[in-house]
Structure 1
Amino acid sequence: MKSILFTGGGSAGHVTVNLALIPKFIEDGWKVDYIGSVDGIERRLIEPLEGVTYHPIATGKLRRYFDWRNAKDPFKVVKGVMQAYRLIRRLKPNVVFSKGGFVSVPVVLGARMNKTPILIHESDLTPGLANRIAMPFATGICTTFPETSQYIKAGSTEVRHVGAVIREEIRQGDAQRGRAFCDLNASKPVLLIMGGSLGARAINSAVRAALPELTRRFYIVHLCGKGGIDPSIENSSYRQYEYVQEQLPDVLAMTDIVITRAGSNSIYEFLSLQLPMLLIPLSKRQSRGDQLLNAASFKEAGYAQVLEEEQLSAETLVAEVTKLYDERHTYRYTMRRHAQQDALSSVYGWIGGIAKP
């Protein structure tokens, strides 16, 4: 039996691609293990999966700013490398697939020490810090955006633009089931707001300030993140949830337009569903600027409108949402012309090709 080891975490975006790939390997009879952090989101998403064994290791966050924890986190990374090395030596996977995030660095180093083939996936237009550290040790690197290769110093490592790996279940939603779940009829279009796995305070605040105006025209389904629900709001056209998992494909199937951050996994899934988007990317004050680049790429391609967080208010939000909905058919036409790549099959085939016999 062939064996594969997945890693990646720290955010839902560093797990989504793994969630798309894992069922295919289980279906084809591979033994599947996953190395992640002790208490990260990846553990909550992966550990309940049948057919996957989760192994937690010590992790240290890779920060670009001054923080007193920077002094002790290198020791956590070293501990994580040794834990990963011993796990990989015991598990003997044929291949390691890394999605990135700070937990992946010790795993990639441990795999290299065990001479195990490593395939890394980069979702964003420019590689994140963890992947930049790990890439020199990789057998191959997959990219989602075609522009990404110019930011990678690959050396002898092969780099392939495979496109976006989309979860198959995301396309299997049913609008009627979505309306039943949210208790909504079909009398108004649906505006979906997704601020990421932890929500987004600025987006949540602007949406709620704009509710009286927005709900005149739309039903609003608001995924506001852990602890983000406001129980004081009473509006018959407004539904709020911390997050939605099993019912998400159905909610997406009934959605007409979406407000979201600009994480690459999410926006490519919306592109595959031809959902017009208003992107509110994380600013450089909050991130390394990758979402700004993702958003600019989608805007230039004609897939989305962009509203920077510095300009976000109830008034600008209403104006941009109105414009997006009025021009939705143009966006959908442009999205239909997007050449869909079967990235999942491409990555699956590449993994099988580099796996040790």
Structure 2
Amino acid sequence: MSLNSVIISGGGTGGHIYPALAIADEIKRRYPECEVRFVGAEGRMEMEKVPAAGYEIDGLWITGIERKILSKKNLLFPFRLISSLSKAGKLLKKYKPQAAVGVGGFASGPLLRKASGKNIPCLIQEQNSYPGITNKLLAKRVQRICTGFPNMERWFPKDRIIQTGNPLRGAIASIDGKRDEAMQFFNLDPSKKVVFIMGGSLGARSVNEAVKAAIPEWKAAGVQVLWQTGKRFHEANEQWATDNGHDDINVLGFINRMDLAYAAADVIVSRAGAMSIAELSIVGKPSIFVPSPHVAEDHQTHNARSLTDVGAAILVKDNEVVSALAKEVLHLIEDTAKCQSLSVELKKHARPNAAAAVVDELEKIVAQ
């Protein structure tokens, strides 16, 4: 059995797109001649990120439903859905895939709905511990559900679930032995502890405010700060650091060498997106999660609790982060035993071979 044509659908956020690309890369690694195509939502970030990664993508005229039911945008939803279902059917007829993979997001709904109706083997990959509405609606139509977290039987048919972990594109480079290089790269003092604030590409306003409140206390304790603010907050926070005499603080909008940032860190503060958790589980550094309250179904809190409830991380609520973060970081840095315990437990959740596991399942449903 070999794969010669697969369609992968979904997107909207990096949390959907990067697992999709990791799955595509693994398919191409095994079957270099396989045609892997993507279907996304017009105007969403997958329409830029997927071609940049070397794959072709078709767009559907689809969006989600606004939370405000009376929103004018919702009036267009039925027309967008009909249009997207029609185009999805035409794409399936044109490309004749052996299988369809959905990773969540607006576009995966119409594509997998049509694919399942044509008896094309279908697989969905759910990144979060609280599934999105698209995957919940598709669950009974697909042959396999690959999950990033355990205990998903509450939402999906138990006999179709395989816990694979969340696929990471190009597994996180090993950080062993890189601390000296990391200290030099970020101009840090090797004799001092480092807290790494991982704000993500967009950043987190509340976390940035918490860092500004905490910096004087951290510096007084001899703790260095590696602060990724996110691009949209970078300029303002860099200016704040200069104006307040904190030129020695590393204020960065985006970090290309994440392996070195992880290697430098003694403690990491992060949002609780599924892909951040997947990376940090492999890195295994003591982590404090601050779930975003601005995501669907509060899924980041569910993600974080899947780890904090078993002693693998610490959770700080977003509405408490400004007042609590400084002391939480210092308590953790000073508690060597706690750091060791968190690292051991967090690494138990690492799934470095998640992409391979998903493609294994894809091969099985095609063979069946």
TM over 0.5: yes
Taking the aligned partners of 2:250 and 2:194, their CA distance within structure 1 comes to 11
Counterpart position of 2:79:
75
Shift of 1:31: 1.7
Kept in 1, the 8 Å contact 2:130–2:297? The answer is no
Taking the aligned partners of 1:179 and 1:170, their CA distance within structure 2 comes to 19
1:266 alignment partner, SS class: helix
Cα 1:82–1:189 change in 2 (3 A) is: farther
**Identical positions, percent:** 25
1:282 alignment partner, SS class: coil
Cα 1:288–1:172 change in 2 (3 A) is: same
Counterpart position of 1:226:
231
Counterpart position of 1:271:
281
2:152 alignment partner, SS class: helix
Counterpart position of 1:56:
59
Shift of 1:175: 4.0
Amino acid at match of 2:228: L
Kept in 1, the 8 Å contact 2:5–2:97? The answer is yes
1:240 alignment partner, SS class: strand
Counterpart position of 1:321:
329
Kept in 1, the 8 Å contact 2:172–2:282? The answer is no
Structure 1 position 242 matched with structure 2 position 245: no
Kept in 1, the 8 Å contact 2:143–2:160? The answer is yes
- Superposed CA offset, 1:122-162 (max 9, x none): 1211211121122232121112222112222x39x722222
Shift of 1:60: 1.2
Counterpart position of 1:343:
354
Taking the aligned partners of 1:69 and 1:177, their CA distance within structure 2 comes to 50
Structure 1 position 207 matched with structure 2 position 217: no
Counterpart position of 1:164:
166
Kept in 2, the 8 Å contact 1:260–1:277? The answer is yes
Shift of 1:170: 0.9
Kept in 1, the 8 Å contact 2:269–2:289? The answer is yes
- Superposed CA offset, 1:51-84 (max 9, x none): x112222121133443331111232222222222
1:151 alignment partner, SS class: coil
Structure 1 position 97 matched with structure 2 position 105: no
Cα 1:181–1:59 change in 2 (3 A) is: farther
Taking the aligned partners of 2:111 and 2:261, their CA distance within structure 1 comes to 35
- Superposed CA offset, 1:27-50 (max 9, x none): 221221111122322233221113
What runs of 5+ residues in structure 2 fail to find an aligned partner? none
Taking the aligned partners of 1:125 and 1:350, their CA distance within structure 2 comes to 20
Structure 1 position 330 matched with structure 2 position 341: yes
Shift of 1:168: 4.0
Higher RCO, 1 vs 2 (CA within 8 Å, ≥6 residues apart): 2
Structure 1 window deviating more from structure 2 (68-77 vs 167-176): it is 167-176
Kept in 2, the 8 Å contact 1:169–1:249? The answer is no
Taking the aligned partners of 1:27 and 1:176, their CA distance within structure 2 comes to 33
Amino acid at match of 1:7: S
Taking the aligned partners of 2:98 and 2:181, their CA distance within structure 1 comes to 41
Cα 1:145–1:338 change in 2 (3 A) is: closer
Taking the aligned partners of 2:48 and 2:353, their CA distance within structure 1 comes to 28
What runs of 5+ residues in structure 1 fail to find an aligned partner? none
Structure 1 position 21 matched with structure 2 position 23: yes
Kept in 1, the 8 Å contact 2:10–2:108? The answer is yes
Counterpart position of 2:13:
11
Kept in 2, the 8 Å contact 1:12–1:197? The answer is no
Cα 1:282–1:337 change in 2 (3 A) is: closer
Q: Tell me the number of residue pairs that the alignment of Structure 1 and Structure 2 aligns.
A: 351
Counterpart position of 1:2:
4
Taking the aligned partners of 2:289 and 2:13, their CA distance within structure 1 comes to 19
Taking the aligned partners of 1:319 and 1:287, their CA distance within structure 2 comes to 29
Taking the aligned partners of 1:300 and 1:334, their CA distance within structure 2 comes to 11
- Superposed CA offset, 1:65-107 (max 9, x none): 4333111123222222222221221111211111101221122
2:324 alignment partner, SS class: helix
